[in-house]
A and B are shown apart, each in its own frame.
Chain A
Amino acid sequence: MSVQTLLGPQSPTPNLKQAMDSMELSGPVVCITAGWRDSEGEIDDLIAEAGQPVEDLMIYHRAQDVFASEPDFAALQRERQDKLLELQQLYRIRLNPTLLAARKLLRMDAQADLLRLEQRAAISQVRALDRHHVRRLASIHSDFDARRASMDIPAATAQREQVHETLENAGLVLIAGGHVAVLLNRIRLFRLGALLKRKPVIAWSAGAMVLCDRIVLFHDDAPQGKRDAEVLDAGLGIVQNLIPLPHARSRLDWSSRTRMALFSRRFAPAICATLDNGSTLQVQNSRIIAASASSVITRTGRKKGLKA
């Protein structure tokens, strides 16, 4: 069974090399830097850190080339992206008041036996809404896949085959962070999920997020104020029941116990695990087999060191 190594941000002090040194490589190293969008492929620093040759699969730019040569496919992709964007906005309209009610109940002081059930019910509503959202997203993706299957798109097929061949021969895959929606989109577009599942992978930040079964966006210190954490989409599902939280130190408001407790209870039984600079989680068959410099959010909203 392959091991997935999840790291925090690689700046200011990278720990990629350390993670690589703990693995036995059975083939060349490839990387996915699609989350960097236009900067995809600028991997000099990455190669220097890895200390060996690394080939970038270049799936962001390959997709751009495909869209340029297959206008119908590009239109289908655009249509899907528009739908995803709009659905996310509709989800937010229901999510915000539902979370507000749950937070209010968690902060309230009332008869314990009455309050406890109302709190549970409120959190259940949030969880139900998240599940509903993922189902709605899945139906958009299914529709896209069905329509794509009936299209004659030779450029897309050729590019995908090239990427698959390179990936098949790889001994290790590195997935860098960046724009998580773009990264997920490109990995899906090239249907890399099943292949990645069989490979040893080191992924950091957004890369770690897409490997998991749910991608949760969060930022409690955004410039226009706190935002409610929201489910972006299902991830690749290679790692189950784990919500990675990159940049948790700066993006989460640990001073608000209610907020953090709700975060934890909302996504339970998944473990909400911090991934800051220096963090490492090693996962095999969705079980954490090693952990370093990572914490979980407890049910009561506290931070607790994560142990394998």
Chain B
Amino acid sequence: MNELIAALFAEAVPDGARINAFIRDNDFPLVEPGHVTFVYHGQASEVILRRWISGMSTAQPLQRLEGTDLWALRMELPENSRFEYKFEVVIGDTRQLVLDELNGVLAHDPFGANSVCQGHGYERPVWTLPDEEARGGELASLNVASKVFAMQREVHIYMPARFRRNRTYPLLIVHDGLDYLRYADLKTVLDNLIHRQEIPAMIVALTQSPDRLVEYTGDPRQASFLAEELLPLLNEKFPLLNDRNARGLAGASLGGVSALHTASCYPELFGQLLLQSGSFAFSDLGHHKKGPVFDPVVRFVNEYRSNPFPLADRIYMSCGIYESLIYENRSLLPLLQAQGMQVQFEEARDAHNWENWRDRLRQGLTWLFPGPLWMVYE
């Protein structure tokens, strides 16, 4: 049992006033080296921790602490871990997924918000937070008349602070770019890393798909859109370095699949890949069990596994160890390395979520696009 809870019950079952004081005086969940204790306060017939962790039980019941309306669950959690969760609260016949009201730390994604458990040792990296000394870049909008998709596509463009037409810039094209902005603080990260000279001032094209479950699964239209429609337009509108090594593709989850697939279709165009928790599903024998959405992904990854070739110069891959995709990512790593590409792979004690991807951006971007920091003493 957690020491703080043990102390609360040491003399007697605590009354309402002591419970309220306990809640007021502590931060939740209760974090200690190697363990975390979740606490729920309220009437219920059952409280279950629902975690977005793969490879472990995703539902674990909290125990009611005798004589009170406090519920608790203590579990092992390695240093620096972080994961997202909700409580499933059962009252009579009603089951409801709710945020942990005692924990103010939330993470957002396109589906809403989750409570965040930050294990012992985890700290949000300072470079993900706004720095008043860092000059902010600007966002602009660019409409692309796409023939392959037979529609207008709006792409947002990040232009660094002190952008100048007479300079030339590296380019990164990001899948789910608006989600990266909203949920992974990409603009703040870019502003900070550029300000710190850790990456060069660069142009970042933020693409967003209206149908990512199709377009990001190895769809040749998406590759063609990026390479044959968007890239020429960007070259026309912005002063970009005409160098494959100064051009990159990025994406998370299915966005990672699309980045890898696009690079495989146009290996002469993109030298740098940032692949986060890529959904690189494959099958060794028989049919995969991931559902029809993954059919084209499996076809692409199986084909690449059969006929691998160098498709970029440098690849940064990251994946959480609390997500099932760690298996696929670990499997892909030696294959990519064997093609002579420089691959940096980072495993995080985190899961399949935007804050995991946010926290890895510095490592990835500075590996792919190293800035002049070493030489700069302002």
User: How far is B367's CA from A219's CA once the two chains are assembled, in angstroms?
Assistant: 16
Q: How many residues of A contact B (CB 8 A)?
A: 25
Whether the pair B167, A38 counts as a contact (CB closer than 8 A) is yes
| Shortest CB distance A209–B (Å) | 6
- CB within 8 Å for A177 and B377 given contacts A39-B162, A223-B366, A224-B367: yes
A104 on the B face (CB < 8 A): no
Instruction: Name the contact of A219 in the complex, choosing from B167, B193, B363, B373 (C-beta under 8 A).
Output: B373
Stretch at the interface among A73-81, A120-128, A148-156, A178-186: A178-186
Residues from chain A with a CB closer than 8 A to the CB of B7 are: none
Instruction: Name the contact of A206 in the complex, choosing from B133, B166, B167, B376 (C-beta under 8 A).
Output: B376
Instruction: Name the contact of A9 in the complex, choosing from B372, B375, B378 (C-beta under 8 A).
Output: B378
Q: How many residues of B contact A (CB 8 A)?
A: 19
A227 on the B face (CB < 8 A): yes
| Shortest CB distance A305–B (Å) | 22
B111 on the A face (CB < 8 A): no
Whether the pair B372, A179 counts as a contact (CB closer than 8 A) is yes
- CB within 8 Å for A180 and B375 given contacts A223-B198, A224-B370: yes
| Shortest CB distance A64–B (Å) | 10
User: How far is B166's CA from A224's CA once the two chains are assembled, in angstroms?
Assistant: 30
Residues from chain B with a CB closer than 8 A to the CB of A217 are: 374-375
- CB within 8 Å for A180 and B133 given contacts A223-B362, A223-B363: no
A136 on the B face (CB < 8 A): no
A12 on the B face (CB < 8 A): yes
User: How far is B378's CA from A178's CA once the two chains are assembled, in angstroms?
Assistant: 4
| Shortest CB distance A120–B (Å) | 29
Residue on A nearest B193 in the bound complex, by CB: A223
A303 on the B face (CB < 8 A): no
A222 on the B face (CB < 8 A): yes
B18 on the A face (CB < 8 A): no
1/0 per residue, CB under 8 A from A, across B183-203: the answer is: 000000000010000100000
Residues from chain A with a CB closer than 8 A to the CB of B377 are: 9, 177-178, 180, 205-206, 209, 246-247
Q: Which 4 A-B pairs have the closest CB atoms?
A: A223-B366, A205-B377, A206-B377, A246-B377
By a beta-carbon cutoff of 8 Å, the part of chain B in contact with chain A is 133, 162, 164, 166-167, 193, 198, 362-363, 366-367, 370, 372-378
